[in-house]
A and B are shown apart, each in its own frame.
Chain A
Amino acid sequence: DQQVKQNSPSLSVQEGRISILNCDYTNSMFDYFLWYKKYPAEGPTFLISISSIKDKNEDGRFTVFLNKSAKHLSLHIVPSQPGDSAVYFCAASGEETSGSRLTFGEGTQLTVNP
């Protein structure tokens, strides 16, 4: 049972344009959501997060939107840069989750073309 799902394995965009990465979840107990970025041969690094009490969180070029009724979140990168090319994972957690475990999606490979 995949509780966090990223339906797009890959996304390709032009430099300077917007990148939109999507994530859906099924567990209504999740109340905190995170995005991680991963380069090859490195560990994932934290990018941005959002609490379920908000519907938007912004940090520089990165904005995460949360639609609780649809159980959907998205990551917007504007403008996209070649250095943003990486695998992006969304993750979810909640107070009721033992040990504050994170449940990860499958990941989306973003390629930003110069």
Chain B
Amino acid sequence: NAGVTQTPKFQVLKTGQSMTLQCAQDMNHNSMYWYRQDPGMGLRLIYYSASEGTTDKGEVPNGYNVSRLNKREFSLRLESAAPSQTSVYFCASRWTGSSYEQYFGPGTRLTVT
């Protein structure tokens, strides 16, 4: 049981390049989330998927798109990377029930030059 996995672990992009961050969970969770973490700002929600087939914007969605490929996988795409998107990106998942606990992946450190 690997939990939440993310690829890649590190990535360097030039301004204007595109890339997709991959996330998968093997806990049969319904909901999945993408966050970014910046110094002094905590974790901010980019997009989330409450259930398979649905996606919604979070707090900071501009410049990103997502795809809930199936129940296990939720990808985050940067179409045209900007230096402001330099951050650490975390994927999380949650079983829809009485607990609000989310389980996080190990993160992807992205640098945009």
A104-B44 contact given A32-B100, A44-B90, A49-B99, CB 8 Å threshold = yes
Bound CA span A4–B104, Å: 20
Interface, chain A (partner B; CB < 8 A): 4, 6, 9, 32, 34, 36, 41-46, 49, 89, 93, 98-107
Inter-chain contacts of B96 with A (CB < 8 A): 100
Candidate in B31, B43, B50, B105 with the most chain A CB atoms within 10 angstroms? B43
Give 6 closest A-B pairs by Cβ, nearest first: A43-B104, A104-B42, A99-B50, A104-B43, A93-B100, A106-B42
Please measure, in the bound complex, the distance between the C-alpha atom of A49 and the C-alpha atom of B58, giving whole angstroms.
22
CB of B100 within 8 A of CB of A34, answer yes
The dominant DSSP class at the A interface is mixed
In the complex, which of the residues B56, B90, B99 contacts A98, with contact meaning CB atoms closer than 8 Å? B56
Residues of B within 8 A of A (CB): 4, 31, 33, 35, 40-45, 48-50, 56, 58, 90, 92, 94, 96, 99-107
Q: Contact at B100–A49, with CB atoms within 8 Å?
A: yes
- Bound form: Cα–Cα A73–B105 in Å: 26
| A-B pairs with beta carbons under 8 Å apart, 15 shown | A36-B104, A43-B104, A44-B43, A44-B90, A89-B43, A93-B100, A99-B48, A99-B50, A100-B31, A101-B45, A102-B43, A104-B44, A106-B40, A106-B41, A107-B42
Q: Are A9 and B94 in contact (CB under 8 A)?
A: no
For the complex, give the distance between the alpha carbons of A99 and B101 in Å: 12
Residues of B within 8 A of A42 (CB): 106-107
B103 neighbours in A (Cβ, 8 Å): 46
In the bound complex, residues from chain A placing their C-beta under 8 Å from that of B41 are 106
Decide if A43 touches B4 in the complex (CB within 8 Å).
yes
Bound CA span A46–B104, Å = 9
Taking the closest CB of chain B, its distance from the CB of A82, in whole angstroms, is: 23
A107 to chain B, nearest CB (A): 6
Q: In whole Å, how far is B35's beta carbon from the nearest beta carbon of chain A?
A: 8
Contact B101 A34 (CB under 8 A): yes
Q: Are A43 and B90 in contact (CB under 8 A)?
A: yes
Q: Which residues of B contact A41 (CB under 8 A)?
A: 106-107
Who on chain A is nearest to B103 by CB? Answer: A46
- Chain A residues near B48: list those with CB within 8 A: 99, 101
